[in-house]
Amino acid sequence: MPFEKGKPKTGGRQPGVKNKTTQEIRDAIQLVLADKVDELANDLTTMSEFKQWTILNAVAKYVLPTLAKNEDTVEHSGEINITVSFENGTDNALGDNSNEVED
C-alpha cells in the first residue's frame, strides 16, 4: 500500500525510543573501558602532556555530553574599552617591539 498524503503515520519506532543496537554497543564499550581505567591512567602518566591531552580530548566526546552551540548577540552603541595585561609586564604577548611595522 503506497503512502497517501494526509494519513497519519502508523507503525515504526515511537518518538524518543533509542536504537537498541546503538545502546547495546555503548553499554559494551562502557564495560570494556571500566575494566581498563587503571591501565589507561598508568599509561597516560608515561606519555608527554601533549599526547595525554590529545587522548583525553578524543575520549571525552564519548563520555561527556556535547554542548549545544549558543550564539548570543548584544546590541551596543558607544565605545568599548578592552584592557589586556600579561604576567611578564609587557603590553602584548610578543614583546615591547611588536607594535613596530616594517615596510
Q: What is the pLDDT along the chain (103 residues), one digit of tens a residue?
A: 677 788 877 777 788 887 888 888 888 888 888 888 888 888 888 999 999 999 888 888 777 777 777 777 778 788 888 888 877 655 544 554 444 445 4
Say what the pTM is: 0.38
The reply to whether 53 falls in a domain is yes
Domain count for the chain: 1
| Domain boundaries, position 45 | 37-65
The reply to whether 24 falls in a domain is no
Q: What is the pLDDT of residue 13?
A: 79
The reply to whether 97 falls in a domain is no
The reply to whether 59 falls in a domain is yes
Q: What is the pLDDT of residue 12?
A: 79
The reply to whether 54 falls in a domain is yes
Q: Alpha carbon of 101 to those of 51, 83, 85, 90, 97: distances in Å?
A: 37, 22, 21, 18, 9
The reply to whether 41 falls in a domain is yes
For 83, the 3-state DSSP assignment is: coil
